[in-house]
């Protein structure tokens, strides 16, 4: 608003000066000597105001674009943070679910092996020696295989020749 004040004041001063310089009696076409300069000054002032307004509009548009870019960047950063947080939370929930399921499976397998060993012990006590020994050795072999598989999955191999087939101490894995 203050950018237009000097132009308005200058237009008023020029108009007042032109009116004061005009002769007292304006007959026929003499009023054109006053109207044409006032019209020219008015048009020049209008163009000046148009240029000032266009400059203000460009400044405002560039300011709004800058603010919009900052806001868009902030929104993208917040969305990226929220996405990372959701992915992390989903990963943690998945890990908890896997652990819970794994623990439940371990408990069920342990109970199954304990039941098989218990049945084998019961068979031994009731004089079914061969069937009892067979049940106990089957349960212990299955338990040993289960433990070995769990150790291998965790990266702690109990048997060193399983992972390294080229140089193995195992007698069946000879290189000739």
In the chain, what are the domain boundaries?
35-154
Q: What percent of the chain has pLDDT over 90?
A: 23
At 70, list the tokens: 């900052």
CA end-to-end distance (rounded Å), the chain: 98
For residue 70, what pLDDT is reported? 95
For 126-154, how does the pLDDT look when each residue is reduced to its tens digit (9 = 90+)? 777 777 777 778 878 887 888 888 778 77
Asked if residues 26 and 34 have their Cβ atoms less than 8 Å apart, the reply is: yes
Contact 69, 31 (CB under 8 A): no
Rounded CA separation 110/153 (Å): 18
From the CB of residue 135, how many other CB atoms can be counted at a distance below 10 Å?
20
**Per-residue pLDDT tens for 24-39?**
777 777 777 778 888 8
Under 8 Å between Cβ of 11 and 42: yes
User: pLDDT band for position 158 (50/70/90)?
Assistant: low
Could you give the C-alpha distances from 121 to 8, 36, 114, 140, in angstroms and in order? Answer: 111, 124, 10, 12
Judge residue 139's burial from the number of C-beta atoms within 10 Å of its C-beta, 0-12 exposed, 13-18 middle, 19 or more buried. buried
């Amino acid at each position: 608003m203050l950018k237009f004040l000097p132009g308005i004041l200058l237009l008023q001063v020029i108009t007042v000066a032109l009116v004061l310089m005009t002769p007292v009696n304006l007959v026929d076409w003499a009023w054109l000597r006053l109207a044409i300069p006032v019209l020219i000054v008015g048009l020049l002032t209008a163009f000046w105001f148009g240029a000032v307004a266009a400059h203000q509009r460009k400044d405002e548009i560039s300011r709004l674009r800058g603010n919009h870019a900052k806001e868009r960047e902030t929104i993208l950063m917040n969305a990226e943070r929220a996405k990372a947080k959701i992915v992390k939370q989903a990963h943690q929930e998945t890990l908890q679910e896997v652990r819970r399921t794994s623990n439940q499976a371990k408990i069920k397998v342990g109970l199954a092996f304990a039941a098989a060993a218990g049945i084998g012990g019961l068979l031994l006590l009731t004089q079914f020696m061969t069937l009892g020994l067979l049940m106990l050795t089957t349960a212990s072999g299955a338990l040993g295989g289960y433990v070995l598989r769990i150790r291998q999955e965790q990266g702690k191999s109990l048997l060193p020749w399983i992972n390294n087939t080229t140089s193995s101490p195992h007698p069946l894995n000879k290189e000739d």
